[in-house]
A and B are shown apart, each in its own frame.
Chain A
Amino acid sequence: ETGVTQSPTHLIKTRGQQVTLRCSSQSGHNTVSWYQQALGQGPQFIFQYYREEENGRGNFPPRFSGLQFPNYSSELNVNALELDDSALYLCASSLAGTGIYNSPLHFGNGTRLTVT
């Protein structure tokens, strides 16, 4: 069973630039979600995709956008980067419809983004 993989592992960008982070879901999972984890904090929900459509969103501005592809892999795009966007970005996958409350999310190792 292949776990959740994210790329790249580290990234340094300049304020105002755009960035794309990638995620491959765990084998058999059809739902992918993205979380932002600032230093010393718990992860914060950005958004979730199911069947290539966004079906949930946290309190993040529209410059955070995403895609889910037919093979359930996903991208997180952030435009007009700000210094506060520096964080660990975690991708998680799960299988929808198997009991939403008891279905744990399986996370990747994350992408550490630094904005200078």
Chain B
Amino acid sequence: AQKITQTQPGMFVQEKEAVTLDCTYDTSDPSYGLFWYKQPSSGEMIFLIYQGSYDQQNATEGRYSLNFQKARKSANLVISASQLGDSAMYFCAMRGPGNSGYALNFGKGTSLLVTP
């Protein structure tokens, strides 16, 4: 069975600084996708970035990058130049054949607070 672990319940970062949110995963499937979502207090889950299990390069999307270390089964999210609007919950998730219907399997999330 797939499992996603996010060990940081809460993180603080100062505006304009970079922050890394940790995610480790466990799966026996060779093919899978890793996703990061942002959830503001409004509740909507906003897709940020994707990394495939066979991708050789780390994914990047604007200020977001994914530090993918396959051998260590980690997929950390790096947010550069933090902004006040980045304050939200962040969820790491995995999609693969081990889940019924290829559903997303989420971690418990990390709450990020960006301070001025």
Contact = CB atoms under 8 A, between A and B. Distances in A.
Interface of A: 33, 35, 40-45, 47-48, 55-58, 88, 90, 92, 100-110, 112
Interface in B66-110: 91, 93, 95-96, 99-109
Contact of A107 (B45, B52, B102): B45
Given A47-B101, A101-B53, A42 B44 contact: no
B19 to A, nearest CB: 19
Contacts, number: 77
Contact of B102 (A35, A44, A47, A100): A100
Contacts of A100: 95, 102
Given A109-B43, A110-B44, A57 B101 contact: yes
Interface residues of B, number: 30
B108 A42 contact: yes
Contact of B35 (A48, A56, A104, A112): A104
Given A104-B50, A108-B44, A33 B33 contact: no
Nearest to A42: B106
Q: Quick one: which of B4, B42, B53, B103 has the most chain A CB within 10 A? A: B103
A80 B6 CA distance: 33
Nearest to B106: A42
Q: Give the most central of A35, A40, A42: most B CB within 10 Å.
A: A42
B105 to A, nearest CB: 7
Interface in B19-35: 31-33, 35
A101 B104 CA distance: 10
B95 A57 contact: no
Given A45-B100, A45-B105, A57-B100, 10 more contacts: A47-B101, A48-B101, A58-B100, A101-B102, A102-B33, A102-B50, A103-B95, A104-B35, A104-B47, A107-B46
A56 B37 CA distance: 22
A110 B42 CA distance: 9
Contacts of B52: 101-102
B39 to A, nearest CB: 9
